[in-house]
Structure 1
Amino acid sequence: MLADASGVMPEALKFEGDKTFFTAALDRADLIVHGKHSHEGQPNSPLRRRIVLTRKISGVADDPSSPKTTLWNPTGAPFETACAHAGVGAGTIAIIGGPSVFDMFMDRYDTFWLSQAPNVRLPDGEPVFSGVPQRTPQQVLASHGLNPGPSQLLDANHSVTVTPWLRTTP
């Protein structure tokens, strides 16, 4: 789960090591893609080029409240059009989701970083992917051709890890 039953990421799911890892990854990205509820709200957030998914427009548009943000309706324009509008033709793209956003890119990921906090329980929470909890996140990732790499320990006191799930190409 990535949020509680009300759709909010609770304090119990926030760990300094995970935050440090996440922030560093976003700082390295050329573009960040997310839904309207996934804005990371960090000091560097306004400096990052981003695409925000929305149904409030017909295709692609500038966000009048944020000069580095492109609004994108996936039903009205291809992702490549949104990237071009954002001024990004190549580089690293960080998808910070929600489940519907993650699901859209499942067959396009080179790497999906799966963080886990095994001691946190969020009954009726928002799952990271569609199909969870019927399947585990690992089963979902594997079903899309991704394979786990070596895990990194982010918080020893809480057993929080992050595992890269990598797409192997023949």
Structure 2
Amino acid sequence: MPALIIEGYVIVSADGMLANADRVMPDALKFEGDKQFFTAALDRADLIVHGRHSFEDQTNSLRRKRIVVTRTIGTVAPDPSNPKATLWNPAGAPFEAACEHAGVGSGTVAIIGGPNVFGMFMDRYDTFWLSQAPLVHLPDGEPCFPGVPAQSPQQVLAAHGLKAGPAQILDAADGVSVTPWQRKV
């Protein structure tokens, strides 16, 4: 099978959170520059992967092929509510089976969360795009990855063999940046 390129995308607060205590991404973590970066990346992706509570809610969302990670099915199944979506239970089938069901055998796969879904791919990412909002704090929020806040998101990525590249500023007024973390070769 031709190679899949696995990329992750998340924006986090200064304390490594991707959502508030109610598991909702607050407006304080939404920045136009990051939204544009994220939208362009998903428009280029061949497949989107996320959990039941993660969704990009964009104009092109329903046009994108996706895999929704869920425990409500045994293995892999079509999503009855979206003809472009495949439901996948990682306990019942390998990721490649879900990709095959979705009709994607090569290309870029964008992993967009939540924390457990990010964690499942930690040793498979080619690049993880970590956006940071250093002025936002969500003290009782939902951590972006398993292991946060005991470790920072950067420490978690490094522990899985990823190395930071140069950061790009997405919103200068609020200091929001994105850093590509790439697999060491």
What TM-score do you get using the length of structure 2 for normalisation? 0.91
* CA deviation vs aligned residue, 1:75-114 (integer Å, no higher than 9, x gap): 0100000000000000000000111000000000000000
Instruction: Determine the structure 2 residue equivalent to 1:89.
Output: 105
| Residue 135 (structure 1) shift | 0.6
In the alignment of these two chains, the number of paired residues is 169
Distance 1:132 1:62 in 2: 33
Alignment of 1:77 with 2:77, yes or no, is: no
Instruction: Determine the structure 2 residue equivalent to 1:124.
Output: 140
Q: Secondary structure at the match of 1:157?
A: helix
What TM-score do you get using the length of structure 1 for normalisation? 0.99
Equivalent residue in structure 2 for 1:115, among 123, 126, 131: 131
Q: Which amino acid aligns with 2:129?
A: W
| Residue 168 (structure 1) shift | 1.9
Distance 1:90 1:16 in 2: 30
More strand by share: 2
Instruction: Determine the structure 2 residue equivalent to 1:56.
Output: 72
| Residue 31 (structure 1) shift | 0.2
Alignment of 1:141-156 (within 5 A): 141-156=157-172
Equivalent residue in structure 1 for 2:36, among 20, 35, 39: 20
Q: Secondary structure at the match of 1:97?
A: coil
Alignment of 1:37 with 2:53, yes or no, is: yes
Instruction: Determine the structure 2 residue equivalent to 1:134.
Output: 150
Q: Percent identity?
A: 73
Distance 2:70 2:54 in 1: 12
Q: Which amino acid aligns with 2:67?
A: I
Instruction: Specify every segment of 5 or more residues in structure 1 that has no aligned partner in the other structure, as ranges.
Output: none
Distance 1:133 1:76 in 2: 30
Instruction: Specify every segment of 5 or more residues in structure 2 that has no aligned partner in the other structure, as ranges.
Output: 1-16
Instruction: Determine the structure 2 residue equivalent to 1:7.
Output: 23
Larger RCO, structure (CA 8 Å, separation 6 or more): 2
- RMSD of equivalent CA atoms: 0.5
